[in-house]
Amino acid sequence: MRNSRKAGKSAIMIGGVLDFDGVAVLRQGLERRWFRDLYHYLVIAPWPAVIFWIAAGFAAINAAFAAGYLLIGGVANARPGSFSDAFFFSVQTMATIGYGVMAPRSGAANALVSVQAFTGGVGLALMTGLVFSKFSRPTSRVKFSKVAVVADFKGRKCLMFRMANERDDRIVQPQLYAVLLRAEPEEDGGSFIRVHDLHLARDRHAFLSLSWLVLHPIDERSPLRNDTPDSMKRDRATVVVSMVGIDEGLSQTIHASCSYRADEIRWGARFVDVLKPLDGGGWAIDYSLFDDVIEA
């Protein structure tokens, strides 16, 4: 399944295509202004990408200052024409290390050192804010089932999926919202992607600590009442789910999302039970069976 199992994450750019929890969106004709949203990109980007761009920027800035030191000279104990000496002197200046082996000795070199010290201070402040923002972003570890199922449940035909909290604390007052995205034909011969609300048997809970089997009754109100596996594939139907709750340990609002394409919905199947009662009271959850389904 292509949808996000790491709940709470934002859209991911893959080869120019935005992946919103499994719903691929190719954005065309949009004017790109990379530096306008650079900070936003770095905040939502994965840590490896952020570390790479910080390292690349650090190297590029020091290389630019090293070229300046080579051009004006005036660095004591630096070998004439040595880019490596100029580069490492720039690194020491930027990081305020000051080993004392190399030092500026001319007015021009001291002026460039002053500019670099200011640049390094501003850059350090920006990187500190960026790292703090990324660490302070609340995240969730909500596990959604890899597939959804359609089967009878207590005498009612229902669309079902399940979810659980992978962390040791609880999610307080989780609220669910589900919609159906479907391409429907227009009178002029085209098609329009319509959004239909999917009413849930229970869309909120006191807290999420065990497994939660989410039910959408397929009745006369349901947009799925006349659908079949073939019609859902033809219309590129996708069920999109979002959850908002409060992490009990962090005392912060968190969110999670998931989506199920037509080929990720099993008709005539049900989930294998994952809850087992304990002899001393309470329940055990077997997460190894969380995604398993059998014929209804």
Contacts by 90-98, CB closer than 8 A, 24 or more apart: 90/62, 90/63, 90/65, 90/66, 90/116, 91/62, 93/65, 93/117, 93/120, 94/58, 94/61, 94/62, 94/65, 94/119, 94/120, 94/123, 95/120, 96/120
User: What pLDDT is recorded for position 83?
Assistant: 95
Q: CB-side exposure of 173: number of CA atoms within 13 Å?
A: 4
Helix (H) or strand (E) holding 213: strand 212-217
Tokens, residue 75:
């660095």
Instruction: Calculate the alpha carbon distances from 161 to 67, 196, 213, 216 in Å.
Output: 60, 18, 6, 9
User: What pLDDT is recorded for position 88?
Assistant: 94
Region of residue 154 (phi > 0: left; psi between -120 and 50: alpha; otherwise: beta): left
Whether the CB-CB separation of 215 and 200 falls below 8 Å is answered with yes
User: What pLDDT is recorded for position 152?
Assistant: 93
Whether the CB-CB separation of 238 and 180 falls below 8 Å is answered with yes
**Contacts for 27 with CB less than 8 Å, ≥ 6 apart:** 16, 17, 18
User: What pLDDT is recorded for position 23?
Assistant: 57
In whole angstroms, give the CA distance from residue 46 to residue 52. Answer: 10
Tokens, residue 73:
């000279």
Mean pLDDT for each consecutive 10-residue tract of the chain (296 residues)? 43 50 58 70 86 93 95 91 94 88 92 93 90 85 93 93 89 94 81 90 89 93 93 93 91 91 94 86 85 89
**Contacts for 176 with CB less than 8 Å, ≥ 6 apart:** 200, 203, 204, 214, 241, 242, 243
Give the closest residue to 106 by CA, choosing from 97, 98, 114: 114
Rg (CA), the chain: 28
Whether the CB-CB separation of 107 and 220 falls below 8 Å is answered with no
Give the closest residue to 2 by CA, choosing from 238, 235, 233, 161: 238
Tokens, residue 7:
């709940």
Backbone angles phi, psi at 63, to 5 degrees: -65, -40
Q: 151-186, pLDDT tens digit by residue?
A: 999 889 999 999 998 888 889 999 999 999 998 887
User: What pLDDT is recorded for position 190?
Assistant: 74
Tokens, residue 67:
């070229």
Give the closest residue to 126 by CA, choosing from 34, 39, 61: 39
Region of residue 21 (phi > 0: left; psi between -120 and 50: alpha; otherwise: beta): left
User: What pLDDT is recorded for position 5?
Assistant: 43
Show the domains of the chain with their CATH numbers.
Answer: 38-136 (1.10.287.70), 142-295 (2.60.40.1400)
Tokens, residue 141:
């570890």
